């Protein structure tokens, strides 16, 4: 019976376990299972530590560098659009109370989009305010802009999927 229980649970209960006491058997089996789980966790940690210490290939390093550059460019684009919006929408510059209220609401939307790093929402706000003119659109179509736009387009797609648009 002991060997069948050991085979079923996948642990060794030992020779000193009292098979007439179900509580003792369960306690011993539980302790053995916890010990095996702890050993597995230590082995996994050691494996992850070895993997982290391995040197990255030049291809991996280049990909990481490219990713960092693209992320910096995206961040710069977001910051640039936000600054233009903030300059145009700042409510303190407005003397008309109704226009001040409208700009306050729009500025809040711009702040929320900026805090979420949502280029899509900032560009939508810019379009809503008609701050994008033909020259800005034309500058996006120049050959060198394709690389610069690739990452923001991916972000726009992710934003639109996340907001359900």
Phi, psi values for residue 13, rounded to 5°: -85, -20
Residue-level length of the chain: 165
Domain boundaries, the chain: 2-53, 58-163
Q: What is the pLDDT of residue 33?
A: 81
Residue whose pair of structure tokens reads 């999927």 in the numeric block: 161
Rounded Cα gap, residues 26 and 42, in angstroms: 24
Cβ–Cβ under 8 Å, residues 120 and 160:
yes
| Tens digits of residue pLDDT in 31-88 | 878 888 899 999 999 988 888 778 878 888 899 899 999 988 888 888 999 999 998 8
Cβ–Cβ under 8 Å, residues 13 and 29:
yes
């Amino acid at each position: 019976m002991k060997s069948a229980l050991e085979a079923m649970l996948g642990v060794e209960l030992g020779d000193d376990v009292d098979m007439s006491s179900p509580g003792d058997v369960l306690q011993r089996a539980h302790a053995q299972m916890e010990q095996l789980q702890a050993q597995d966790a230590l082995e996994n940690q050691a494996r992850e530590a070895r993997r982290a210490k391995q040197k990255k290939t030049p291809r991996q390093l280049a990909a990481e560098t490219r990713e960092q550059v693209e992320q910096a460019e995206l961040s710069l684009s977001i910051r640039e659009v936000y600054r233009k919006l903030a300059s145009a929408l700042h409510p303190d510059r407005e003397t008309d109370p109704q226009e001040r209220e409208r700009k306050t609401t729009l500025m809040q939307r711009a702040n929320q989009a900026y805090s979420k790093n949502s280029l899509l929402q900032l560009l939508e706000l810019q379009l809503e305010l008609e701050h994008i003119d033909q020259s800005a659109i034309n500058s996006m179509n120049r050959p060198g802009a394709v690389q610069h736009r690739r990452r923001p387009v991916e972000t726009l797609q992710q934003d639109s999927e996340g907001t359900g648009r």
